Structure 1
């Protein structure tokens, strides 16, 4: 029996993030201005055709699933990768720290700049549409942040965790990790996250922080196939 997190994008877009979804009951995606994730309802021809019809000619979509990813003929693969999906082994205590503050739309450009520099994963100016983000500022400058991305019933993805290189080694990433995990636990939801399978240092850190490997995941970036 499949787990709700085996197909995280589809199960988010049909539940907690249904109001953001573009598409129909056969295939859905997030608005590309928010995040590139998309998914078909299943691997039937009807669903794959619906997925194929979602992007404009110049748009890319990211597909993430535990099982091998079926690609419709009208889409071509731009890149592929392996991820690990990790899940909290226990609830986290809600904590408070005077350095942490909720981020707002006024912080969006600085958040994007920090994410562009540190590359925690897909990030846009509208990332806050998915969930709350928090950050630490020094002299008014955003130096670390973390927040929430995809959500499914009972689960929330911890995402966007990054620290400016000039401020690493001060425990800010660990602090924000524990803070966001605590906020998720306070809603009686379980925190989970994704990391590249090749990122051994991050995986080791997340294990030390109380997360365990739940599943290996496939990541495929696709774009419409150009007609001759």
Structure 2
């Protein structure tokens, strides 16, 4: 019988805990807790109306050195991406996540000179475009779910990361986003990776000198599409 990698990992954990699989009342208690997940204490800072969450998200993202642009609607996204590349003297070549929302945009009409390459990012790519699953107002954080339409490399490998975010996908707190992720998936399943991105990559050495781009993009540009009353 072939043993899956998941079972090998769980078996190793059980050996470390010196016990076997949960049974009886102990298993019932775990299953009940998973079926009725309780939220932890949620900070009041992000508990605003839709417009307030949009303002707070922008404020916090810009505090983390991201740039934020609010466009008039989905059709304005291609021109906004083209403008970002132009402002930074970048080639008109873009590595784009093959997300259905991005694919539906009028690229040929609004940004005809852009060359779009789909799929996972490569070392030579200078700019990547991804579709965020959500934004968190309390910290200005973007949430990306890995998958066939959202390769994680697009968000981390190129020096310049452009993210599209619907205003209606901005939540006040992380707990709300996890609830949405569970509602978006089959019961009992989660994405392989959930990436939380707060500003461009940066770190400081022992002398406390701030270095950008050490572990990811040097720039993060967020394009917000105001698709509801938060506009």
- Normalised-by-shorter TM-score class: under 0.3
Task: Select the structure that is richer in strand.
Answer: 1
Larger relative contact order (Cα-Cα within 8 Å, sequence gap ≥ 6): 1
Structure richer in helix, relative to its length:
2
- TM-score (ref. length: structure 1): 0.24
